[in-house]
Structures are given as C-alpha cells and as structure tokens.
Amino acid sequence: MTGSYALIGPPATAPTTDLSNPQHFERFVVSHSSVVLTVCLRLLKDRFAAEDACQETFTAAWRHRRELRPNRAWLLKVATNKCLDELRARSRHRTHSVEEHPDGEAHYIVSQAPTPEAAVLNACAEEVLQLALLRLPWTQRLAVVLSDVEGWSYRDIALTCDVSLGTVKSRIFRARKSLRQVLADAGFVR
C-alpha cells in the first residue's frame, strides 16, 4: 500500500477490551510482550531476570484485570518497578570472593568498600534519593532512571515511551532539578 504509515509499537488497550476474557488477555500479552521484555532486558542486562520480570508484570496485569485497565504505560511502570526491585535485591546479595593463597590458606581480598562512616552517609543519601524518586511523577521518574541509572539515550527513551525527544529532555531536566533540590535540602549537595 502506497502512502501508509506504520505505528511505532503496539497500540494501547482499546477501552472496550475486556481483559477478564482469557482470549482478550492473551492478545493483550502477545501485543505488548516484546516491548515489556525489551525494557526489562535493557534495565537488567540479564535475559533470565528480564524474562522473570516480564512474567511478573503480566501476572500483575492478570491480577488487576478487573479493577484496572492495564495498558502499555501501566505495563511499563510495573515492569520498571519489577526491574528496580530486582536491581535492589542484587545489590543486597553481593558476595565477597576468597582467593586461595599458595600456602593453602584462604585469604580474603581486601575490600574496596567505603569506610563505615561513608557507608552510612551513602545509605542515607540513597534513602533520601529513593524517597525523592518515588515523589516524582511517574513519567519523570521513568525518564531519569532510564537515562541516569541505566544509561539509555534520550532517543531510546523517546521511542520506548512513545513521546517526542523534547518531552524526554524536559522530563529529565525537571526530574534532575527536583532531585537536586531534595538532596540540597537534606544537606548532601550544595
């Protein structure tokens, strides 16, 4: 067909779609699974963890199919939160390695960890930052996390969120400004 244009990404759920109908829900999953899995893969950089997060996202959609109208934006929000939970869990469960010394005894590798005082300050700053992130509007939070935490380009964020490049830049600017102010108010930055 000449002159036709394809939409980028799958369409949002139609208002008349009844997701409590298993066939409608299956179509919903098929039409959105690649986008959700792509976001999870980019956030987690681990295929198995991304597939788990994707599955948990659609499980949440099934659980909330009657009280909500899950759509693409809702799915991306849930998927991002599942990925953030996974990243937090990973950071809590890091292991320390042990090297075998030539004399046969195990020697622990010297820690590169910060001093206890710095660790406490970092933990406080991280807690303040996490609370500040939760207060941001969802669109700003998603944009700044994808950009600053995950290193996505503005173009990739715009494509994933189906917004213009200018909108992404604006959201990230506003989010950074709000976060900077919260950290300044808490005394962590000037």
Q: What is the pLDDT of residues 82-110, one digit of tens each?
A: 888 888 887 776 554 445 555 555 555 55
> Contact, 109 vs 99, CB < 8 A?
yes
Domain range summary for the chain, segments of one domain joined by +: 10-92, 115-190
> Contact, 27 vs 152, CB < 8 A?
no
| pTM as predicted | 0.45
Q: What is the pLDDT of residues 19-53, one digit of tens each?
A: 778 888 888 889 888 888 888 887 778 899 989 99
Instruction: Give the C-alpha separation, 150 to 162, whole Å.
Output: 18
Indicate if the pLDDT at residue 116 is higher than 70: no
10-92 is a CATH 1.10.1740.10 domain: yes
* pLDDT reported for residue 15: 42
Q: What's 115-190's CATH class?
A: mainly alpha
* pLDDT reported for residue 168: 95
Domains 10-92 and 115-190 share a fold: no
Tokens of 185: 């108010």
Q: What share of the chain is helix, strand, coil (3-state, %, to 5)?
A: 65, 5, 35
* pLDDT reported for residue 167: 96
Indicate if the pLDDT at residue 77 is higher than 60: yes
Which of the two residues, 108 and 183, has the higher pLDDT score?
A: 183
The whole-number average pLDDT for the span 129-138 is: 84
